[in-house]
């Protein structure tokens, strides 16, 4: 989903930077063979008011067994579940610093 969204970014420099980040930092890839599974979970998430693309991002993170979903989207951060912690980048850094101390 992230690759698809990024490919639609009209700014080449941003597209390249995002793809570079993805390639360097991704350890789980959810391919087309999981489409039905992801979309089924996304449909469940959408019942809470989350839009399709965002719901697919969260569903993919859940499938990849991520502990955190980091976003700056205030509407998306309102989604609450026991399955994953929805946090801002700042909240994530604070949580990681707490683990170090």
Round to whole Å and give the CA distance between 69 and 61. Answer: 7
- Name the residue ranges covered by the structural domains of the chain: 2-100
pTM to 2 decimals? 0.71
- For every one of its 101 residues, what pLDDT tens digit does the chain have, with 9 covering 90 and above? 677 777 888 999 988 888 887 777 666 666 667 888 999 999 999 999 999 999 999 999 998 889 999 999 999 999 999 999 999 999 999 988 887 76
Identify the CA nearest to 19 among candidates 34, 39, 33, 4.
4
């Amino acid at each position: 989903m992230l690759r698809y969204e990024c490919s639609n970014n009209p700014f080449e420099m941003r597209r390249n930077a995002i793809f570079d980040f993805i390639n360097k930092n991704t350890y789980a890839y959810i391919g087309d063979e999981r489409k039905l599974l992801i979309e089924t979970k996304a449909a469940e998430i959408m019942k809470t008011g989350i839009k399709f693309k965002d719901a697919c991002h969260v569903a993919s993170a859940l499938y990849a067994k991520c502990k955190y979903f980091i976003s700056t989207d205030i509407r998306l951060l309102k989604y609450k579940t026991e399955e994953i912690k929805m946090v801002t980048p700042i909240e994530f850094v604070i949580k990681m610093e707490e683990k170090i101390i």
